[in-house]
Chains A and B, each alone.
Chain A
C-alpha cells in the first residue's frame, strides 16, 4: 500500500453517503415495482418524520432506542466482537427496569427509582451479555452463535416470567400491572410545557437525554481512556494486543458487559418511559436495527446519533407512509433497513477500494 492518505471526508462522508444512496435507490425500485411513485412516497416519509412537532417527537423516540443498540453494537465492534445479541440484552434489561419499578413504586419517590432503574437495566443487560462474553474469552466459543442462542433463551425466559409470575392477577393480557406514576419517566413535552415550549404529544421522554449522555460516555471511554485504547488495539490486531501485554480476555468480557448494559437501556425507554408496565416483545427488532445503525454510523457516537435519527425517521415516516398509501406496509422500512445493512456493511468494499484507489492515485500524481 502506498503512503498516500485517502482524504478523511471520503471515508466518513462520501462512501457512507454513496452506500445509503444505493440502498435508497433499490428501495425506490421496490416501491416502483409495487406501482407507487417513490418520490411521492419519500415526500410522505419525510413529512411524517420531520414535518410536524409530534412527528419529530416520534422520530426521536425511535432514535433513542436505536442510539442505545447502535452504541452497544459499536462498542463490541471496536473490540472486534460481533454482538448480535442486542435484542436479548435489551429484553432482559427491560426486565431489570420492570423489577425495580414493580418492587419500589409503592414505597419510593421518583428520584430514588430512576437511578436504580438505570442501574437495573445496565446490570441485567450486562449479565445477559456476560455468559457469551465469558465463553468467547475463556473457552473460545463463537460469540455470534452464542449471542443468537441467548436471544432465543431470553425470549423464552421472558414469556415464562411474565406469564407465570409477573402477570397481573385475573387478567388475560401477558403483561405486568401498570406502575404507579412515580415510576414513570417524564415525557419531554411535559417537562417543556411549563417553560412555554410546545413540542406536541409524543412518547419522547427523558431517556433521550440519557441516550445522548451515553454517547458522550462511549466517546470518552473509547478514545480517551487507557481501556479504550486496549479495546481498539484488540479490535485492530488481537495478536499485537496480546504481545503488548493486554489481557485480551478481560477486555473482551468488559467490552461485552458495556455493550449489553447499553442495549439494556432500551428497556428504560420502552418500559419506564412509554409502556409503564412489563410486557412481551417490546424490543421489536431494535437490537438487530442497532447493527444497521452502527454500520452506517461508522462506529462513532456522532455517526450513530445521525444514523439513529435517520432510522427513527424511517420508522416514523414509514408509519405515515403506510397511512397515506395503503398498498405500502410499514414493514417496507425493515426491507430498507436490510438494504442499508447490505450496502453499507456486507458490500462496503464494493466501492471503497475503487474510490480509495482513485484518491490515492490522485494524491500520488
Chain B
C-alpha cells in the first residue's frame, strides 16, 4: 500500500511538472490583466522547437533555449495583438493555438519527414534523471528511505525547477516592486498609469516571463518526459493549467496544490484502469479524467469557494488623452 502510494506520488510529480510551469506562466500573464488561452499553443510550440533543436544539436540545453525562444515569440504575438492593438485576448489565444497546431506538424514533416514526429532523442539530447547522493544506500531505510530514494530522488532537473519556481513566483509577485506593479496593472491600470509607469511595458514583461515558463513546460514534455515531439503532444495540458490557475485562485501556492491535485488525479486514472473496487464495481477512467474540469466548473459556479480573477483582466488599456 505504502509502496503504491509512493509510486503514485512519484507519477504525480512527473505529470504535474508541465502543469506547474504553465499555470505559473498563466499566473504572470493573468495577474497583469492578459487572459491567456494560448498556454496550450505555447507549450506545443516550445515542445516542437525544443525537440527539433535538441535532435539537431544533440543537446537538451540548446533545445530548451530554442523552446523558450519559440514560446516567448508566440507570447509576443499575443502581446502585439492584445496590448499594442487592443485585440480580443481570447481570439488572439485561439489564433495562437490554431497556428501552432498546424505549423508544428507542417514544419516537422518538412524537416524530419516522419509523419509529424521528430527523431527519438538519446543521451545528452534529453534531460536525464538525477539521482540524489546516497539514494541507493538510503533505500533500505523504512519510510524515509522510500520517500528519499524513490519519490524525491530520480527526477530530471526540470521537475525540481518547476517546484522551485513556486516560491520564486511568490517572492516576485508579492515581495518585489515589479510584482506590485504587475498586480496593480491587472487590478487598476489607470492607477499605474497615473503613477507614471507604462502599463504596456509591464504587461509585455509579464508576457515574456509567461513565454519563458511555457517554454520550460514544452521542453519538459518533449525532451524530458518523452524522447521527442509527437503531433498534438500538449494534449490539453495548457487548458488544464488554465483550470489549475483558476482553481488556485491566481495565487502561487494554491495553484501549485491545484496542479498537484490534477496531476494526482491523472496518476489515479492510470492506476485505476480496469481495477474493480468491491461493492462499487469498475470505476470508469473517464470519470476520474474529467474531475479537474468538473471541479473547476463547480468552483467557478461558486459551489466550492469563489474564484475572483484580477479586476482588469481581459480588458485592453486605453490611455486617456486630453
* A interface residues, Cβ below 8 angstroms from B: 30, 34-35, 82, 84, 131, 135, 139-142, 144-146, 148-150, 152-153, 156-157, 159-160, 164, 288, 291-292, 295, 327-329, 331-339, 341-342, 345-350
Contacts and interface: CB of A to CB of B under 8 A. Distances in A.
8 contacts: A30-B103, A82-B90, A160-B286, A327-B110, A334-B98, A345-B87, A346-B82, A349-B86
Given A145-B246, A157-B286, A291-B91, A342 B294 contact: no
Nearest to A337: B98
B301 A149 contact: no
Given A141-B301, A145-B296, A157-B286, A331 B101 contact: yes
B98 A152 contact: no
Given A152-B290, A153-B294, A345 B95 contact: yes
Nearest to B313: A142
Nearest to A352: B85
Given A141-B300, A142-B300, A160-B287, A346 B99 contact: no
Given A329-B105, A342-B92, 17 more contacts: A35-B110, A145-B246, A148-B242, A149-B297, A153-B290, A159-B286, A160-B287, A288-B94, A329-B109, A329-B116, A334-B98, A335-B99, A342-B95, A342-B99, A345-B92, A347-B80, A349-B85
B85 A345 contact: no
- Interface SS, B side: helix
A104 B80 CA distance: 54
- Interface SS, A side: helix
Contacts of B106: 30, 34, 328-329, 331-332, 335
B293 to A, nearest CB: 4
A232 B105 CA distance: 40
A93 B76 CA distance: 37
Contacts of B236: 152
A329 B296 CA distance: 36
Given A346-B82, A350-B85, A149 B293 contact: yes
B305 interface: no
Contacts of A329: 105-106, 109, 116
B107 interface: yes
A341 B94 contact: yes
B77 interface: yes
Contacts, number: 148
A347 B102 contact: no
Given A135-B300, A141-B300, A338-B96, A156 B286 contact: yes
A334 B246 CA distance: 29
Q: Would you list the 7 A-B pairs with minimal beta carbon distance, nearest first?
A: A335-B102, A334-B102, A338-B98, A338-B99, A346-B92, A141-B300, A342-B95
A338 B102 contact: yes
B116 to A, nearest CB: 7
Interface of B: 35, 37, 77, 80-82, 85-88, 90-92, 94-103, 105-107, 109-110, 113, 116, 236, 239, 242-243, 246, 284, 286-287, 289-290, 293-294, 296-297, 300-302, 307, 309
Contact of A146 (B92, B99, B290, B297): B297
Contacts of B300: 135, 139, 141-142, 145-146
Given A152-B293, A347-B87, A336 B102 contact: yes
Given A135-B301, A331-B101, A335-B99, A345 B88 contact: yes
Contact of B88 (A150, A331, A346): A346
Nearest to B231: A331
A254 to B, nearest CB: 20
Contacts of B307: 141
B98 A341 contact: yes
A67 B79 CA distance: 31
B77 A342 contact: yes
Nearest to A140: B302
Contacts of B109: 327-329, 331
B102 A160 contact: no
B235 to A, nearest CB: 11
B91 to A, nearest CB: 4
A96 B87 CA distance: 37
A346 B87 contact: yes
A146 B250 CA distance: 17
Contacts of B297: 131, 135, 141, 146, 149-150, 153
Contact of A331 (B95, B116, B289): B116
A153 B300 CA distance: 15
**Considering residues B102, B239, B243, which has the most beta carbons from chain A within 10 angstroms of its beta carbon?**
B102
Contacts of B289: 156
Contacts of A335: 98-99, 101-103, 106
Contact of B239 (A152, A347, A348): A152
Contacts of A342: 77, 81, 92, 95-96, 99
Given A333-B102, A338-B96, A345 B284 contact: no
A131 B107 CA distance: 39
B239 A341 contact: no
A350 B82 CA distance: 11
A53 B284 CA distance: 46
Contacts of A142: 300, 309
A303 to B, nearest CB: 16
A181 to B, nearest CB: 32
Contacts of B92: 342, 345-347
A83 to B, nearest CB: 11
B302 A346 contact: no
B81 A347 contact: yes
Contacts of B287: 156, 160
B203 to A, nearest CB: 15
A152 B288 CA distance: 12
A144 B309 CA distance: 14
A191 B29 CA distance: 54
A148 B77 contact: no
Contacts of B302: 139-141
B94 A291 contact: yes
**Considering residues B86, B95, B307, which has the most beta carbons from chain A within 10 angstroms of its beta carbon?**
B95
Contacts of A341: 91, 94-95, 98
A322 B131 CA distance: 47
A37 to B, nearest CB: 14
B99 A339 contact: yes
